[in-house]
Every structure is written in structure tokens, then in C-alpha cells.
A and B are shown apart, each in its own frame.
Chain A
Amino acid sequence: MNLKRIIVVTSSLALAVAGATVGGLSGMREHERIRSGLPNLGLVSCMKCHERGLDSLPWAKPRPHHDSPDGIAVSPDGRTLFIALSDRDEVAEADVASLAVTRRLKVPGGPFGLALDTAGNRLFVACRNQDRIAVIGTRDLKELDSVSVGIRPTAVAYCRTPNGERLIVPNSGSDDISVLSVAPLLELTRTAAGREPYSVAVSDGGRRVYIANRMSVHERLLSQPASEVTVLDPSDGHVLNRVDLQSAHLAEGVTDVPVRGWVINSMVRVRNLIPITQVKDGWVMSSGIAITRHDGSVTQVPLDEANAYFPDPSGIAASPDGRRAYVASGGADVVTVLDLDRLGAWLDHAGEAERGDAPENMALSYRYVAARIPTGCNPQHLALSPDGSRLFIAERLDDGILVVDTTSLKPAGRIILGDRGLDDPIRLGERVFTRARYSFQGQFSCRSCHPDGHVDGLSYDFDGAGVGDNLLANRSLCGVAGTEPFKWNGKNPTLQYQDGPRFARVLMRTDEIPQPQLDQLATYIKHLPPTRTVPWSRVGQPLTPSEERGRKLFFATRRPDGTPIPFARQCQTCHRPPLFTNRLMTSVGTQGAQDSSGVFDTPHLIGVGAMAPYLHDGRARTLEEIWTVYQKDDLHGVSSYWSKEQLNDLVEYLKTI
């Protein structure tokens, strides 16, 4: 009797569970179908859409901070070195003779770029994280004054002009240049730059300043990109020239060589329009310098050699006598010493065709490279003593300043700033990220395409089953944690998968990154916070009326006339907060002639205002173009009822995400 009852009860329960399961699954499928607008989604995790809050993501949590040196400046007497420590919110002062750090000052806002006035009494500090310039008195090492500038200032230059002292500040996040008076400390004007103005050099006796713009832009898809060098009159900020460095990007460094009438940029010569069928011979990119004369003429020459590469050129400094220049290669842990006499002789001798061919001639640099100086991890900023006898190299991921005797080109000592942070997996991961040793001949690092983990604004044609049919826009790694799967085709479930064997085969062309380093790399990437796209002063503030109108458009479920917008075509359906992605594949009508599929991974939108170009192949130069040029049958959100003003509002809102 009992057994029969047990069987009946158990069978009933099993049937009930089975029924509930089938019903539940059916209901889930229907819920997914309605909410995603995708008919055959299959079984997916509820977490695809019902994401936890941002607070639980790695980048939102506290992390260790390190004494990474950023900008450096040498006092006019050559005795004191000032060092920006943005990760510590500090500026350090070091004694050059004893190589000891003598004082430290708390400077909130991520001090990154430094400049001294002529007498060395005032140190000007570009605080990248709080959009301000701080003035430090060097005698007492105290902050004296501060002024707001554009978004994410990365450098500052001091010069005297007929109109008085001036500070020139490239604002990398707002693509403009602040021109400040020093007394009083005021922003006089803000001038439009290229994309991501990054460093600045005073030239021509203070009559010109040259601003290097780190990112390149292109006129249209598959056209050659160029980085702008913006030339300003520092006295009033008006633009004297905009010089294009063709196919150059990551032009991070700039220095003046007054003796020769040159301004030299470090730069990467990118070849993103060529299918990446190989890496050798600089097929993907190579490193070089661009020599700009005051008449605007430019000659690019390589830093690399036929069989050795020195990627991620960054800081650059020229000796006062104009006979040498030094270029830090952050991916190779090397500073290259250029013999400018030999380079000048080659330039004088070379014909126009030879100069035009120079950036592609990987066997040219042996003519003018005098030495390669090994450094600690990830050298970026450089400074020379006023007499040129000492070169200071900021070893960013080794927490030190390498001091080099420029006569012997041998190390003369090292200023120790911190403990190198080798017990921090995020720091170790950043070392992997910045080191080029994981690519064939050390040609490029992760950072070469993802400066600061972000985008380089380019599309690349990756090697696939065929050749020339896999053009894809670079995607930012900032804020990418929790947005898996990765890659435009959504095939990579983890960062380790994304950056592991497949990457070694199609891009790095060497052994895959060993598993421990791969795990560290993934840890670093997961801790990259989203890019800030609004001014520091507006963080946490209410939306403007325009942004608020845009927000309502983004979350609209009906048109103004009351017509419902299909769920699948509402912005919020695919770009669902808090990550602004449902992490599903979808088609928005952008399949190109050579795309094997029109279904792509839905990108997250946190920091989208800084992620141009847009769509899977980068065809849209701006957010506006997504709807004004590339919208098709209202497939990418229902936009046909939007006015120009409404589109503007939406874009304003998107830039706040």
C-alpha cells in the first residue's frame, strides 16, 4: 500500500515538475523572444539582461595604487627633478645628485603632466582626473592655485609671449587645447584640436606651440587616417596651422629642436587598410618619428629596424645642441638614441621619392640610430637636464626614474619611487598589456591598439578564412568587465579565450601568452574603468535639459503620437542598463557586402562618447552618422520620427553614459 502511494505521489510530483519545467522553459523562451525581439535565441542566462549592479564589477572596486612615474620636469639648475605620480595623487621631488626623493606633495586629481616656469619657482601640474591645472610653489612644495580646463588634460607647457606668460594645455578628453594666462591664472581661450591632444612643445622662441594629437581620424571608411599636429600662437591661442601626419597614430610625444628648426613627433605608422595576412616587415604597424618644419612640411622616418621593433614610442626629448634626440619605446623597454647630425645629412641628401618612401623603409634607421638603451618596464616620459648631460627616463611600471649619462649612454643611477607592485595582479597584468614581447619580433603590444586600454579609432582587417573580408572596428577595453561575450561575432566567452591561442595565431604570430600571464592580463583588463566623457565638475550632477530629453528618447516605448515602438527596436532592449548591453547578438541592418553575417555582438555603451568610430566595421565616424547615414528601415532603433534636435539630444545623452 505504502509503496503504491509513494509511486503515485512521486509520479505526480515528477509530472508536476516536468510540467512546470516545460511550462517555465516555454515561458522563458516566450519572454526572451518578446523582450529581445530575437526569434531563435535558445536558452540563455537570465543574467544576460538582468545584470547585477555596476558596483560589483571589478573596475568599481578599490584597487592597489602604485608610484608609477608619469610626467617629469627638471629644474633650471639641473639639481631637482619633479615627478608626477598620478596613481598616488602626488608630486614627488627628487635630488638629482643623491638620487633620493626629498619631498612629496598630495595633489588631488591624478597629476600627469608637468612644466616649470623659467626660474623654476612654479611647477604647473596637469591633473588628468579632475580636469584642472594646479600651480605648485617649488620652494615650499605647496599648491598655490588651480584652474579648471577641458576634459583629461595630459600635459602642460609654459612659455613667455609678448602678451605675457602662458600655459598651453592639451585636453585629451574634450579634443581641445586650453590657453591660460599665468598671472592671473585664467583660461583665456579653448581651441579645437585634433583627436585626443596629448603632449605639447614650445617652439620658435615661444612664438609657436606644437600639440601632438594621439589619435588619428579618417574622412571615410577605408580612407587613410591621419593624426593632426595643431600649431598655435600661444599668446592668443589662434591656430597657425594644422599639420596632418598621414597614417600616423599614437603620436604621443613632441619635442622642439630649435637649432635645426624641427619639431619631432613620436608616432606609430599604422597600416590598418591592408589585410593582416602577415606581421613581419611592419605589415600591421611600425614605429617612427615625424619631423615637421615651420613651413608645415613633414618627413616621417622609421625607428624600427628590418628585424627588430621598438613599439609604442612615447616620450621624446632633444638635446640642447640639437645633435641628439631620445625616444622612449614603452613596448620594448628601450630608449632609442637618434643621431640628428646623421639624420639631417640623410634628409639633405635624400630626394623627394626617397623621403616619401622612408616611413616604409625598415632598413633605413641604422643610418641614424646611435644606440638603444635598455630600461625598466614601460618607459614613457623623458626629460633632459638643461645642459643635456643627464637623461631622465620614467620607468612607469617599475616605479623608478632611470638616470642616463648622455656621454657614455650608460646608466648613472636610478631614483626609486616605489616597490614596483609585483604582488599586485592588476599591475602584473598591465605589464603583460604593455609588453611587445608576446608578438613576432616584439612588433606591438596590446597597448599599441588599445592606448590606456581604450580604442585607437581604427578598423583593422583581420586574417580570417579568406583575405580582405574581415574589417572590424577596434573596441574599447575600458569598462569591458561583465560584458562578455567578446569580439564582434560574440564567439569569445572570456578574455582569456579572446587573448589566448586564437590571438597568437591571427595577430601575434608567436607562442601564445602563457596561462599565468594571460590570467594577469585578463585581471588588468577587467579592472579598466570606463572612460569618463563628461567634465569632472559634472560628474554626479543632474542631466542638462538636452541630455534629459535624450534620455527620454533612449528609453521611449512609444512615439510622440502614441504609436508603440516594437520592443525589439527600443534602444533600451539591446542596450539595457546598467551595462547598456544585453550581451546578445543582434542585427541592426549593417551587414556589408563582404560580411559573412549581419548579426553582431551588442556593444556596451558606457563611455560610448569616446569610442568613435561606430558600428562593427567603424563606418560611422560619429554617433550622429549611425542614424543620419547608416540607419536602414528603423532597424537600429526607431529613429524615423526624430527631428534633428531630438537626435542631438539623444547624442548628448549618450555622451553622458
Chain B
Amino acid sequence: MSTRTCIILGAVALVAAGCQPKAPGGSLVLTQTPVQAEPLQNTTLMDVRYPHGSRVLLLAPPFGRDSVLELSRGLVAAGDPCVSWDGRWVYFAGKSSDEAIWQIYRVNSGGGLPELVTRMPGGAMGPAIAAHGQLVFSSPVPKAGHLSAAQEPAALYGQMPGHEPYRLTFGPDNAVDATVLRDGRILYVSARARDNYRTPKSLGLFTINNDGTEVTAYACQGDGADFVQRPRELDDGRIAFLTAHSGEGGSMAWAESVKSAAPFATRGSLFKFGVVGIRSVEPTAGGEVLASAETRSGLGRSMTGNAKIFRVAAGDASLSTPLVDDPLWNSIEAMGVAERPEPSGHTTAIMPASHYGTVVCLNVNDSSEPAAEGNLAPAAELRVFVPDGPGLARTLGTIPVDADGSVILRLPADVPLGLETLDAQGHVLRHQPPSLWLRPGENRACIGCHEPRNHAPRNIRPLATMHGPAHLELTSQTSAAHAATP
């Protein structure tokens, strides 16, 4: 290709980019589902949330029917949108046909035809945008009714524009509903670690860096209703989310929040008024939230066409007049189209060529949970294991604990790791089911086992730093599979 051709093509591309339509100021991206949806069998979670005919729209002020532009043209179902930080792009999940699987599409916020962004074999859902245009999504799409239990759990993936996707989470449970915090971390929903695989799962909020490092419980760890979805960071420092006692959201969901200042101690209702049937909550640039609520709620899932969009300000005593009220559709999601500050980035420390990560635990005895059977003995050893099928685990090894309770371990990367502290007689003191992982080259730290939340470490030099890390390998000869729980 000649230089002149390159210049011309470049100029054309620049002009085309500059000419891309932009959404009018104050516009909303709206998801609507049909009022009368066919009940579906043996489908995915996304098919339940966004039945055939669901669509993503651009709605310009004053939000009448004549100011609607369909963004998901050509797709049989679409939903779950998010707007890029520069306000130029809308990403959403969509299906091109009833037989197709859900993938992520994007479209210019001012309109146009949707462009396929992901080609994940098991489908993709839940797009979110991190710093530098990194797309984050979940894949595969869980089957309906399997949000909290899956043979092949949905993981979070990252994908830079024009590049292949890469996996970010390696836990044993679904990782879904990602959103990106202003500090650059990805906040998502997954199941809380539990000691027994037969114990019903309950969902909580977790964070990772945008390279999958530093997986950490963020909030909702057994302090309220068990089902949590759609976390969103609000301008006032709270994290809003939907919650329900059972099922996967729907008409009985209500909105709660935690303060980011103390996420484990501040869980409470998002609104000052009681309302159920909340379908979504999205922050606005002005500090208010856009909430989709079903004003005629009933038992079970409601498809009665009464989901409307409301603007709710802090201190409002009730829902006011709906902002969007279309009796022919359920308006279940709405968000503003505006340029917002991009979240922070994260300079990765991952070393792709490495197969290991290192973790330092300052004191395995430092725990907010009592030891098994009230055993007060300090830990003498730490056992590390990985899952090996339902209810089974494979032990990587057992290493001695230093006198101050500290250990440093070099462990296989990108696999869920479980930990057990043992007393001198080999009795299990505390048990951490496989739920954490290390990325290649990651150096990780923790205060203790079941460490107290949101705590900084005491400024004491761990004895384990006086010698090198213990190395534990994952090989086929590691150990025989055994029961995962003591």
C-alpha cells in the first residue's frame, strides 16, 4: 500500500471518526423488555432477564416515544448495557437469532448498527469498561437457575480493543455483574466461600484489579439477603446493589447499599422509602440515581408492563413521577449518556512467563473466626489444596508455620487455592475452601486466615521473611483426591 493511500485511508478514518453521531445531551440508554414474553424452557440466565424482543434504545429528552432510537437493531434480544467513559459507545449483550448465543456488541451512542465485539464459545454477558477502554465481561453465560451453582462457572474476562480476551477470575463459582470502580478495581458478584460444597451458596461482592490480581471480598458476606446483583458505585461513595432472598432478582428485588468507607458494617436500604420490585439502579452524573421499579409488584416475576424508570434524589421520601413510562414495555434499565471521569488504571505486575505466585501470610492465627472445636492451639502447619471435582480436593503440600504464625508460599498460579491451618497433632484449626487464586508473578499478602475485614497489618516484621518461600507444585502426583472438607 502506498504512502498516499495510507494517508488517504487515515484521513478518511479520522473524518469518519469525527463524523460519528453522538447522542444528544441528556440522553438515556434504556433497556425495554416486552410486556408479554413467552416463557422459555432450558435457556440461559440472559434469556430470562432479556426475553425475545428485548431491546436497547437511545432516548433523548423529553423522553417521549418520538425521540427513541433503537441501538440493538438486527438483534432478537438485547440488554445489559453500559456506556463508555467518554460517552461515545454503548456496549450491551445481544443475540442475533433465537438459536444464537449471547455476545457483547457495541454501537455508537448516537446510533448505527451494532458491531460484534466478543466471540466467546459459551457466550458473553455483563459488559463493563475499565481504564484505557478495557472491556470486562462474563463468560460463559450461566444456564437459567444456575446463577449460584454451575459445573462450568462463568469467569470474568478482559479484552483490550482489537485484541483477544484474557481470563481474569479463576474461582470455583460464577463471577458476574461486573462494574468498574473509580479506583480502577472491578467489582463483581460471586458466591461466598463455604466450607461444605453441599451448603447452599450465597452471593457476595468481590473485587479484583483489572489484571485479575488481589481478589478480595468487598461486602455482603453473610450480613443480609443471600442473592445480590448489579452493584454500582454512586457519587456519594456508596455501593448500590439489588438483593433478594431467593431466585435471581426480578420483581421481589429491592435496593440496598453499603458505604465504601466501611462496606462490612453499613449494609442498609438504598432508599429512604420501602419499595420492592426494583429492576435496576444506575448512578447519574448529578448524584441522583435512575431506578427501574415495578409499581404494581406481586409475588414472583412480574411481566405486567409496569416497570418504569424513576429519578431518585438523596432524601426523596417516595418515588416521584416516572421519567420513562411506556405501558407497552417494561423499562428495566436506564443510564445517562455523558462523558465521565475514566477510572484509574493499574500497572500490572503479572509475569506471563511465570507459572507461580507468592503469598505472604503475616500470622495464620490472626483470625476473626474461632478455631474448630474451640481449639486454642497455635497453628503448627499450613496445608494447601486445590479442588478436584465436586466435594473433592487434592493437597499440594503441608508446610511448617514460623513461630510468629507467618508463612511465605510460592504456589501455582491461576487455580483456586484452599488453605487449612493444623495444630501440632495435625488437627484442622481453620479451613478456607478453594476460592482464592494468584496470578502469574503476583506477590500477595494477607494478615491472617479469615482475616478481619478492611484492616491494615500491624507493623511487625514477619519471621518468614528471614528465609525463602516454601514451594508447592501442582503435579499429577501431588496427592490422591480426598474429601474437600475436614
Q: How many angstroms from the CA of A375 to the CA of B432 in the assembled complex? A: 45
- The secondary structure that dominates the B interface is loop
B20 at the interface (CB under 8 A from A): no
Given A305-B260, A306-B261, A307-B260, answer yes or no on A505-B347 (Cβ-Cβ < 8 Å).
Answer: yes
Closest Cβ of chain B: how far from A240's Cβ, in Å? 28
Residue contact A505 to B465, C-beta cutoff 8 Å = no
User: Within the complex, which residue of A360, A461, A469 is in contact with B457, where a contact is CB–CB below 8 Å?
Assistant: A360
Residue contact A274 to B184, C-beta cutoff 8 Å = no
Q: Which residues of A contact B456 (CB under 8 A)?
A: 269, 271, 281-283, 286, 359-360, 362
Residue contact B455 to A362, C-beta cutoff 8 Å = yes
Residue contact A363 to B464, C-beta cutoff 8 Å = no
Closest Cβ of chain A: how far from B385's Cβ, in Å? 22
9-residue interface stretch from A176-184, A205-213, A509-517, A629-637: A509-517
Residue contact A361 to B455, C-beta cutoff 8 Å = yes
User: Within the complex, which residue of A362, A440, A508 is in contact with B454, where a contact is CB–CB below 8 Å?
Assistant: A362
Task: Count chain A residues whose beta carbon lies closer than 8 angstroms to a beta carbon of B.
Answer: 52
Residue contact B237 to A504, C-beta cutoff 8 Å = no
Task: State which residues 439-471 of B face A: CB under 8 Å.
Answer: 443-445, 452-462, 464-466, 468-469
Q: Which residues of A contact B458 (CB under 8 A)?
A: 271, 360
A258 at the interface (CB under 8 A from B): no
Among A270, A280, A364: residue with most chain B CB under 10 A: A280
Residue contact A468 to B262, C-beta cutoff 8 Å = no
- The secondary structure that dominates the A interface is loop
Residue contact B457 to A363, C-beta cutoff 8 Å = no
Q: Which residues of B contact A501 (CB under 8 A)?
A: 347
Residue contact A274 to B457, C-beta cutoff 8 Å = yes
B113 at the interface (CB under 8 A from A): no
Closest Cβ of chain A: how far from B127's Cβ, in Å? 22
B386 at the interface (CB under 8 A from A): no
Task: State which residues 249-289 of A face B: CB under 8 Å.
Answer: 269-275, 277-278, 280-283, 286
User: Within the complex, which residue of A270, A308, A361, A509 is in contact with B459, where a contact is CB–CB below 8 Å?
Assistant: A270
Closest Cβ of chain A: how far from B408's Cβ, in Å? 6
Q: How many angstroms from the CA of A271 to the CA of B362 in the assembled complex? A: 13
Residue contact B216 to A280, C-beta cutoff 8 Å = yes
Scoring B residues 339 to 371 as 1 if CB is less than 8 Å from chain A, else 0, what string do you get?
000001111110000000010101000000000
B266 at the interface (CB under 8 A from A): yes
Q: How many angstroms from the CA of A291 to the CA of B26 in the assembled complex? A: 49
Residue contact B445 to A306, C-beta cutoff 8 Å = no
Residue contact A307 to B263, C-beta cutoff 8 Å = yes
Closest Cβ of chain B: how far from A255's Cβ, in Å? 24
Residue contact B360 to A467, C-beta cutoff 8 Å = yes
Q: Which residues of B contact A441 (CB under 8 A)?
A: 183
Scoring B residues 71 to 109 as 1 if CB is less than 8 Å from chain A, else 0, what string do you get?
000000000000000000000000000000000000000
A641 at the interface (CB under 8 A from B): no
Residue contact B261 to A468, C-beta cutoff 8 Å = no
Residue contact B184 to A510, C-beta cutoff 8 Å = yes
Closest Cβ of chain B: how far from A379's Cβ, in Å? 20
Task: State which residues 204-221 of B face A: CB under 8 Å.
Answer: 209, 214, 216
Q: Which residues of B contact A225 (CB under 8 A)?
A: 459
Q: How many angstroms from the CA of A305 to the CA of B456 in the assembled complex? A: 11
Given A282-B456, A283-B456, A505-B349, answer yes or no on A277-B360 (Cβ-Cβ < 8 Å).
Answer: yes
Closest Cβ of chain A: how far from B248's Cβ, in Å? 28
Given A275-B360, A283-B445, A467-B469, answer yes or no on A511-B262 (Cβ-Cβ < 8 Å).
Answer: no
B8 at the interface (CB under 8 A from A): no
Closest Cβ of chain A: how far from B59's Cβ, in Å? 33
Residue contact A277 to B444, C-beta cutoff 8 Å = yes
Task: State which residues 217-268 of A face B: CB under 8 Å.
Answer: 222, 224-225, 246-247
Residue contact A468 to B408, C-beta cutoff 8 Å = yes
Q: How many angstroms from the CA of A593 to the CA of B468 in the assembled complex? A: 11
Q: How many angstroms from the CA of A469 to the CA of B264 in the assembled complex? A: 34
Residue contact A365 to B346, C-beta cutoff 8 Å = no
User: Within the complex, which residue of B346, B358, B360, B362 is in contact with A509, where a contact is CB–CB below 8 Å?
Assistant: B346
A642 at the interface (CB under 8 A from B): no
Residue contact A510 to B262, C-beta cutoff 8 Å = no
Given A222-B461, A271-B456, answer yes or no on A510-B347 (Cβ-Cβ < 8 Å).
Answer: yes
Closest Cβ of chain A: how far from B432's Cβ, in Å? 18
Q: How many angstroms from the CA of A283 to the CA of B349 in the assembled complex? A: 17
Q: Which residues of B contact A366 (CB under 8 A)?
A: 259, 261-262, 265-266
Closest Cβ of chain A: how far from B176's Cβ, in Å? 22
A540 at the interface (CB under 8 A from B): no
Residue contact A511 to B408, C-beta cutoff 8 Å = no
B191 at the interface (CB under 8 A from A): no
A466 at the interface (CB under 8 A from B): yes
Q: How many angstroms from the CA of A504 to the CA of B183 in the assembled complex? A: 14
Q: How many angstroms from the CA of A575 to the CA of B183 in the assembled complex? A: 44
Given A275-B360, A281-B454, A305-B261, answer yes or no on A461-B459 (Cβ-Cβ < 8 Å).
Answer: no
Q: Which residues of B contact A273 (CB under 8 A)?
A: 459-461
B379 at the interface (CB under 8 A from A): no
Q: Which residues of A contact B466 (CB under 8 A)?
A: 468, 593-594
Q: Which residues of A contact B266 (CB under 8 A)?
A: 366
Residue contact B469 to A363, C-beta cutoff 8 Å = no
Of all chain B residues, which has the CB nearest A437?
A: B344
A452 at the interface (CB under 8 A from B): no
Residue contact B347 to A305, C-beta cutoff 8 Å = no
A187 at the interface (CB under 8 A from B): no
Of all chain A residues, which has the CB nearest B264?
A: A363
Task: State which residues 282-320 of A face B: CB under 8 Å.
Answer: 282-283, 286, 305-308
B131 at the interface (CB under 8 A from A): yes
Q: How many angstroms from the CA of A120 to the CA of B465 in the assembled complex? A: 57
Residue contact B443 to A280, C-beta cutoff 8 Å = no
User: Within the complex, which residue of A275, A280, A369, A511 is in contact with B347, where a contact is CB–CB below 8 Å?
Assistant: A511
A101 at the interface (CB under 8 A from B): no
Residue contact A463 to B349, C-beta cutoff 8 Å = yes
In the complex, given contacts A275-B465, A280-B214, A361-B455, what are 8 additional A-B residue pairs having Cβ atoms less than 8 angstroms apart? A277-B444, A357-B452, A363-B265, A366-B266, A467-B469, A504-B347, A509-B347, A510-B347
List 13 A-B pairs, Cβ < 8 Å.
A246-B459, A271-B459, A277-B358, A281-B456, A305-B262, A363-B261, A363-B262, A441-B183, A467-B465, A467-B469, A468-B462, A468-B464, A510-B346
Name the 6 nearest CB pairs between A and B, nearest first: A468-B465, A511-B345, A282-B456, A363-B262, A305-B261, A277-B445
